[in-house]
Structure 1
Amino acid sequence: MSTPYDIIKHIARTEKGSGMMAENKYIFHVANDANKIQIRQAVEEIYNVTVKKVNTLKVQGKWKRVRYKEGKTPDWKKAVVTLKQGDKIETATT
């Protein structure tokens, strides 16, 4: 059994994510094998908020080249979590 901190890697601090905070939506990088129920429980336990909705998507890694070597950045999973009206997650940017 994984802990909530194994499921939620970190909150994504992007320009798009900052704009979504006004709509009570937060973007998290999560474990690749985590499902929506696990993500909901982890966010509620870590941040003491009520989750209204969870949307997930897989992000494909990109091919990168450094000098003569090629490699691929790893695939990762992103979750957009909508909170109940009135709940808020305190981040360093807010």
Structure 2
Amino acid sequence: MDKSKNQVITEKSIRLLQQNQYTFQVDSKLTKTEMKNWIEQFFDVKVEGTNSSRIANSKGKRVSKLNFNSTSQKKMIVRLRRNYFIPLFLSQT
């Protein structure tokens, strides 16, 4: 899927791995449902929920007060059901 750009590795995302939550940087037009379906099919896991947030541009400018610039980025945190994990991240012990 070309809409999922890469995984996010930060201190917070590493802490979230302990709670079985995985962080991805995605295309700003991707919906939660599309991300959930893609994760479940690609990694053969069950998703319990997703959270999304927009990341402001590095310049911090917006087109208007309500609309973000089209080049803004989006981050999604995917929470998996118990006993599921994505092996490409840190392994569960």
TM-score range, shorter chain: 0.7 to 0.9
TM-score, length-scaled by structure 1: 0.78
C-alpha separation in 2, matches of 1:86 and 1:7:
27
| Identity fraction in percent | 23
2:12 to 4, 12, 16: 16
1:41 to 29, 32, 37: 37
C-alpha separation in 2, matches of 1:10 and 1:46:
14
Aligned length: 81
Larger radius of gyration between Structure 1 and Structure 2: 1
Aligned position for 2:50: 54
* Partner AA of 2:42 in structure 1: I
Residues 92/51 of structure 1: CA separation in 2 closer, same or farther (3 Å cut): closer
**Is 1:83 paired with 2:88?**
no
Report the CA distance between 1:93 and its aligned residue: 4.2
Report the CA distance between 1:45 and its aligned residue: 1.6
